[in-house]
Amino acid sequence: MTISTTAPISEDTLRQALADSYRRLANLGLNTGSAGNISCRFDGGALISPSGADAHNIDAQAIVSITMDGENRSPGIPSSEWSMHTAIYRHYPQAMAVVHTHSDACVAVSAQRRPIPAFHYMLAGFGGDEVPCAAYATFGTDALAASAVEALAGHTACLLANHGMVCHGPSLEKAVANAAKLETLARQYWMSAQLGTPVVLDAAEMATVRDRYRSYGKARLSRTPGTV
């Protein structure tokens, strides 16, 4: 679901969209059981999936409303990662929704405690020349929230060492799409690494890609001079 930054959307509508998006993450294979969580900005705070939720039991009523300080504004227990979500909202005003998953390829690469380098030009869509890996911290702690915020500087997604990934977007729809794209790229990076060290695109090429992304989907991209 797309969250407008100008037109108000009712709490009931956002609750249903969050529950639907949580189930979509499971259907996409990005989370299993109660792993992972999702949230969106709302009324100066956030709406977030509850602790222990899974795709079979979550519904709109289970979504928890919290302040940016983690105080409950509705019944229920918010996800254990609420502090990471609210820290991202406080530091990145453009973030309207946050998705955290334990998707397989992202977990596998995060266990190496290294970023995903620019082996593919589509990484430019997350900002920078790589997808960084946040330093390890225990789940559900302020230390993990701070680590994620630091890694996300200039990026819309990062890995969480020995844990998974987190990303944000201007809408729930875009945040979920970002999570799915990152998992695909992490899997492709892992596959390429099985053949040897992947060739990484240089900073100049990634800058060119980011420049072309600014008009992607808005205008016809010109061919590179000299190409057919």
Residues designated as active site = 81
Pairing of strands 157-160, 133-134: parallel
Residue of 101, 117, 159 whose CA lies nearest to 135: 159
Task: In whole angstroms, give the CA distance from residue 1 to residue 72.
Answer: 24
Q: Residue 51 in contact with residue 85, Cβ under 8 Å? A: no
Task: In whole angstroms, give the CA distance from residue 22 to residue 53.
Answer: 9
**Which residues are 98's β-sheet partners?**
39, 168
- The total of other beta-carbon atoms located within 10 Å of residue 190's CB is 16
Alpha helices in the chain (DSSP H): 11-27, 82-91, 104-110, 142-151, 172-193, 203-213
Q: Residue 142 in contact with residue 83, Cβ under 8 Å? A: yes
Q: In this structure, what token pair is assigned to residue 199? A: 């060739």
| CA 101, 103, 107, 110 torsion-angle sign | negative
